[in-house]
Amino acid sequence: MTPIKYIGKREDHIDGCYGTRVAFAQGESVLMPDDIAAKMLKHKDVYISGNVLEANAVTMPPLIKPDEDTQDLRDTVQNLDSYEALNNIAANDYGQKLDKRKSIATLRTEVTQMIDQFGLV
């Protein structure tokens, strides 16, 4: 475990970039797994090495693998049954507009292809 200190601009920060969902307060040191700490330290304007004696031990929620997130979105798309819901995903996440004249099944396929092609946004 490596101590990481948050020095970003906000008073509070929740890590979403590395999937830890750990909450930092400005200037607070938190013990992070070594592999994630190494990635965080590449962003010198947001994180620096912290002090082991000051660091808070944090119980992190389990990391969600990107493949699981992608599959969850695919599953959600397969359960959607309206043009509006499918078009919202296509427009908001991928900047695409769906053709309202196509069947729901075809639209689901198109949105799933966008997910496969562009990944999670």
Instruction: Walk along the chain (121 residues) and give the pLDDT tens digit of each residue.
Output: 888 888 888 888 888 777 778 888 888 888 888 888 899 889 888 898 887 776 665 555 555 555 777 888 889 999 999 999 999 999 998 899 999 999 999 999 999 998 888 877 6
CB 90 within 8 A of CB 111: yes
Provide the whole-model pTM: 0.46
- Can you give the pLDDT at residue 86? 94
Length of the chain (residues): 121
In angstroms, rounded to a whole number, what is the distance separating the alpha carbons of residues 55 and 101? 57
Q: What is the pLDDT of residue 56?
A: 65
Q: How many CB atoms lie within 10 A of CB 30?
A: 26
Percent helix, strand, coil in the chain, to 5, is: 40, 15, 45
DSSP 71-87: HHHHHHHHH---HHHHH
Instruction: Look at residue 57 in the predicted model and tell me its pLDDT.
Output: 59
Number of other residues whose CB lies within 10 A of the CB of residue 38:
12
